[in-house]
A and B are shown apart, each in its own frame.
Chain A
Amino acid sequence: MKFSKFLASTALVAGLTLQAHAADVPDDVTLADDQTFTFWLLDAIKSMDPQINTDVEGSDVLRNLFEGLYNEDSDGQLVPGVALDHIVSDDGLTYTFNLRDDARWSNGEPVTANDFVYSWRRLADPATASEYAWYMELMQVENASAVIAGDMAPDELGVRAVDDHTFEVTISTPLPYFPQMLVHASTFPVLESVVAEHGDDWTDAGTLVGNGAYTLTQHTLGERVVMEKNDTYWDSDNTVMTELVALTINDVNQGLTRYLAGELDRVDVPAGQYPRLKAEYPAQASSTPYNCSYIYMLNVGEKGPEALKDARVRQALAYGIDRDIIVERILQGGQRPSYNWTHWAIAGFERPQLEWANMTQPERMERAHELLDEAGYGPDNPLELTLQYNTSEDHKKIAIAVSQMLKPLGVNLTLDNYEWKVHTDRMQSQDFDMARYAWCGDYNEASTYLDLFTSYSGHNSGEFYNVEYDRVMGESKTAENPLPLYQEAEEILGEEMPIIPIYHYANVDMVRDDIRGLPQNNVNQTWYGKDLYRVAD
């Protein structure tokens, strides 16, 4: 490992603990003969192309077939991938990555800085028409917006290969969490010659060339994906798992049944089943925080209902919901009730003291009655609203429970269940009163949540426009310590209540007790097949 460049650089350098992370098999462990890991996918993988993929599940597969600049370890800390380390210029705008010279594509060619240049341009290039092209903008890569809009040629994007093993990125504003964003699958390199030769078919099993620890040997859409250990991978000597299999099972209950029948090594636990499984299989069931928050978004914009323009009404709705019942009696999987927006486990984030978070539910209920009364609503003048959610057994249960909880306040919620696409489309055209929404952070830092409700965010479907909020978030970008500003933003959300927080996600799953190496403390639940191993009984 090279530390020299780090030491030479300024305080802006990300403090990487540069320990190569492969399967850390302790000496006293006997490995099982069969090193195969079979995991569950809810749906078919939409694309194996890193620049085209948009799904979390797709990323789980891609992380094994490709490798980006950095990886994450079991605690979510950055560890070297293709890049060993980097230096940041004093103005915080230029990142120079030092790439390892032993990285190889699965066809034997070396992985070079030019591969990253090609891939990053490819992501932004309008000709690729990637749905994740905006990620280049989010990373603030210079000229990204202009390239995506087609106003500039892709080669004007702020990326450059200084030499074969030095990759340089220029960004337009300092971004303290820039390195964290490099774990994302859309920044993974692809090999230009293969893409050029095979066109859209380059991701077929047998044709796909990656630089990850595994190669794709079979992909039956909607049935399974099989990946085998890649011997050209730079750290293949330390890779223990020889085969990864992903099975698509569209029904969560079927998934659990097949796990219990021994067909899977890892599966998600359906809502309500965790306590039983934990009691029955204590070594297999686990619940860890997961970087997503569940809310009801309120339409406070032009097209929203009159009642929701009153902050008192919005507060009353938020106060009237008993979150403990939702997490403890419906989901029952170690999720936490939420009274704010940012997930509690986000690194460096602390929830500000919010008054309503500390009240008891009867107190909140009483307050809700008062607020609605002040606003002129109540059992005599009931508030009629619709609550829209997308198809899912869990969303349905929560929506039903919420509609019953709000009934005593004189709030009549009509439930509206739509398919995902229709749901999204209605939200984006402000055609809703209350809508179920969830956001999963792109990286482990509070701004991935809080930026959402700035007036310029583009995801702010409820049209919550607040000058003060915009100012706070703007300041946080350059602040030495952004936490107080983040807390101020949360306080504004708690006061204005444009969203009703419901709960913070947990990843609730069953894992065979002989599997080791899955992340224990990584809010993004990022995992790599190369870190896993199976012990003998």
Chain B
Amino acid sequence: MVSTTEQRTATQVGPRKGRSPWADARRRFLRNKAAMGGLILLLFVAAFALFGDVLAQYSNEELDYMVMGQIVELGGPSIASGHYFGTDDLGRDLYARTVQGTQISLAVGVVGALIAVIVGTIYGATAGYVGGRTDSIMMRLVDIFMAVPYMFVLILLLVMYGRSITILFVGVGLISWMEMARIVRGQTLSLKGREFIEAAQATGVAAPVIIARHIVPNLLGVIAVYTTLLVPLMILTESFISFLGLGVQEPMTSLGALISEGAGTIAYGTTWQLGFPLLFFVLTLFGFFFVGDGLRDALDPKDR
């Protein structure tokens, strides 16, 4: 798995007054070469996932009987045959499958991260804002949940209730909300004492409204950074699940599933089956890491 520590520094991000902090951040982000590179990568991968099918000569599920059975000799990448990335063991077009796998991996990553962030934010903001006993009970619960080996629970869920993309979304999302809850709670605690919150309370605005209107918007920076850094973790988690054979149902696929299939057969001379999916996997992860790092640096103007 990959680092999640960046959040620690992310917690230091706070709302700033005076000249527009967002404009400042944007300027810093645009000047950051790595971040811009990452953004370009992400745009490329997203374009590939969304529009890659236009270029495909085959669908992601039809078998090419011409190459089936002789994949090593005939199934390699070739412009002439229309299999730009070669074919898989059944003669299915790897280009079309990589496009489709990228869609699923991105979807799992983004939806999973969003679930984690939404649950974590609501939970953390509530605990921090209400405070007192409720806060300490809620945070104790988080401590308890943190000690659960979640990968195990996720494996259990998928084994027992069949593989479905919904369980995958929810499962990977639920692995990571606790960290978010802690961060948001900390930020909420520090916001609570501010005048504008006190003013809202004094005028009788209800607690949920204060949380939604005043607290959450002030946490957007943290949330954005955290979400971006969470997506690659979700994608990695999904790839592990696919390796265990518990990923999405055929004929759907994910980058993790394609990589795991390709890695199993590297000794047999079909390296393209590993290479192309792995390339898109790595590009996606790099993209998110660089953009995440860039966002954090941009929103956290401490001089580095």
Give the interface of A toward B (CB within 8 A): 251, 253, 256-257, 272-273, 276, 325, 328-330, 332, 391, 393, 396-397, 399-401, 403-404, 415-419, 422
> How many angstroms from the CA of A87 to the CA of B163 in the assembled complex?
56
Which of A251, A328, A400 has the most chain B CB atoms inside 10 A of its CB? A400
Kindly state whether residue B61 has any CB partner on chain A within 8 Å. Answer: yes
Kindly state whether residue B152 has any CB partner on chain A within 8 Å. Answer: no
Residue contact A256 to B250, C-beta cutoff 8 Å:
no
A-side contacts of B68, CB under 8 Å: 325, 329-330
Residue contact B162 to A400, C-beta cutoff 8 Å:
no
Residue contact A416 to B267, C-beta cutoff 8 Å:
no
Residue contact B249 to A415, C-beta cutoff 8 Å:
yes
Residue contact B267 to A256, C-beta cutoff 8 Å:
yes
> How many angstroms from the CA of A400 to the CA of B59 in the assembled complex?
14
> How many angstroms from the CA of A515 to the CA of B68 in the assembled complex?
34
B-side contacts of A251, CB under 8 Å: 264
Residue contact B69 to A417, C-beta cutoff 8 Å:
no
Residues 239-264 of chain B, each 1 if its beta carbon lies under 8 Å from chain A, else 0 = 00000010001110000000001001
Residue contact B264 to A329, C-beta cutoff 8 Å:
no
B-side contacts of A328, CB under 8 Å: 69
Distance in angstroms from B159 CB to nearest chain A CB is: 5
B-side contacts of A329, CB under 8 Å: 65, 68-69
Residue contact A422 to B162, C-beta cutoff 8 Å:
yes
A-side contacts of B160, CB under 8 Å: 422
Residue contact B250 to A415, C-beta cutoff 8 Å:
yes
Kindly state whether residue B179 has any CB partner on chain A within 8 Å. Answer: no
Query: Knowing A401-B63, A404-B62 touch, does A417 contact B268 (C-beta < 8 A)?
Result: no
Q: What 18 new A-B contacts, CB under 8 Å, besides A273-B268, A397-B89, A415-B250?
A: A251-B264, A253-B264, A253-B267, A276-B268, A329-B68, A329-B69, A330-B68, A330-B69, A330-B90, A393-B264, A396-B250, A400-B61, A400-B63, A400-B92, A400-B250, A404-B61, A416-B162, A422-B162
Main secondary structure of the interface of A (DSSP, over half): helix
B-side contacts of A330, CB under 8 Å: 68-69, 89-90
> How many angstroms from the CA of A379 to the CA of B72 in the assembled complex?
35
Query: Knowing A253-B264, A276-B268, A330-B69 touch, does A418 contact B61 (C-beta < 8 A)?
Result: no
Kindly state whether residue B4 has any CB partner on chain A within 8 Å. Answer: no
Residue contact B250 to A399, C-beta cutoff 8 Å:
yes
Kindly state whether residue B12 has any CB partner on chain A within 8 Å. Answer: no
Give me 22 A-to-B residue pairs in the complex whose CB atoms sit less than 8 angstroms apart, sorted by A's number. Answer: A253-B264, A257-B267, A272-B71, A276-B268, A329-B65, A329-B69, A330-B69, A330-B89, A393-B261, A397-B89, A399-B250, A400-B92, A400-B250, A400-B251, A401-B63, A404-B61, A404-B63, A415-B249, A416-B249, A417-B245, A417-B249, A422-B159
Query: Knowing A276-B72, A401-B63 touch, does A253 contact B265 (C-beta < 8 A)?
Result: yes
- Nearest-CB residue, chain A, relative to B71: A272
Distance in angstroms from B141 CB to nearest chain A CB is: 31
> How many angstroms from the CA of A332 to the CA of B90 in the assembled complex?
12
Total A-B contacts with CB atoms under 8 angstroms apart: 58
- Nearest-CB residue, chain B, relative to A275: B69
- Nearest-CB residue, chain B, relative to A257: B267
> How many angstroms from the CA of A418 to the CA of B250 in the assembled complex?
12
- Nearest-CB residue, chain B, relative to A420: B159
Distance in angstroms from A208 CB to nearest chain B CB is: 33
Distance in angstroms from B70 CB to nearest chain A CB is: 8
Q: A419's contact among B71, B92, B159, by CB below 8 Å, is which?
A: B159
B-side contacts of A332, CB under 8 Å: 69
- Nearest-CB residue, chain B, relative to A260: B267
- Nearest-CB residue, chain A, relative to B270: A272
Residues 121-151 of chain B, each 1 if its beta carbon lies under 8 Å from chain A, else 0 = 0000000000000000000000000000000
Residue contact B162 to A415, C-beta cutoff 8 Å:
no
Q: B245's contact among A256, A257, A273, A391, by CB below 8 Å, is which?
A: A391
> How many angstroms from the CA of A400 to the CA of B257 in the assembled complex?
15
> How many angstroms from the CA of A122 to the CA of B268 in the assembled complex?
48
> How many angstroms from the CA of A208 to the CA of B69 in the assembled complex?
47
B-side contacts of A397, CB under 8 Å: 89-90
> How many angstroms from the CA of A257 to the CA of B160 in the assembled complex?
32
> How many angstroms from the CA of A272 to the CA of B90 in the assembled complex?
10
B-side contacts of A422, CB under 8 Å: 159-160, 162
- Nearest-CB residue, chain A, relative to B265: A253
Residue contact B163 to A417, C-beta cutoff 8 Å:
yes
> How many angstroms from the CA of A393 to the CA of B268 in the assembled complex?
16
B-side contacts of A273, CB under 8 Å: 268
The A-contacting residues of B in range 41-77, CB under 8 angstroms, are 61-63, 65, 68-69, 71-72
Distance in angstroms from B243 CB to nearest chain A CB is: 11
Distance in angstroms from A282 CB to nearest chain B CB is: 18
Distance in angstroms from A404 CB to nearest chain B CB is: 5
Q: Which 4 A-B pairs have the closest CB atoms?
A: A329-B69, A329-B68, A391-B245, A253-B264
- Nearest-CB residue, chain B, relative to A253: B264
Distance in angstroms from B117 CB to nearest chain A CB is: 31
Distance in angstroms from B60 CB to nearest chain A CB is: 11
> How many angstroms from the CA of A332 to the CA of B70 in the assembled complex?
10
> How many angstroms from the CA of A417 to the CA of B267 in the assembled complex?
26
Distance in angstroms from B246 CB to nearest chain A CB is: 8
- Nearest-CB residue, chain A, relative to B251: A400
Distance in angstroms from A388 CB to nearest chain B CB is: 10
B-side contacts of A257, CB under 8 Å: 267
Which of B62, B65, B71, B92 has the most chain A CB atoms inside 10 A of its CB? B65
> How many angstroms from the CA of A23 to the CA of B210 in the assembled complex?
85
Distance in angstroms from B96 CB to nearest chain A CB is: 14
Distance in angstroms from A227 CB to nearest chain B CB is: 30
> How many angstroms from the CA of A272 to the CA of B68 in the assembled complex?
10
Residue contact B89 to A272, C-beta cutoff 8 Å:
yes
> How many angstroms from the CA of A273 to the CA of B267 in the assembled complex?
11
Distance in angstroms from B279 CB to nearest chain A CB is: 22
- Nearest-CB residue, chain B, relative to A416: B249
- Nearest-CB residue, chain B, relative to A332: B69
> How many angstroms from the CA of A397 to the CA of B245 in the assembled complex?
13
Distance in angstroms from B64 CB to nearest chain A CB is: 10
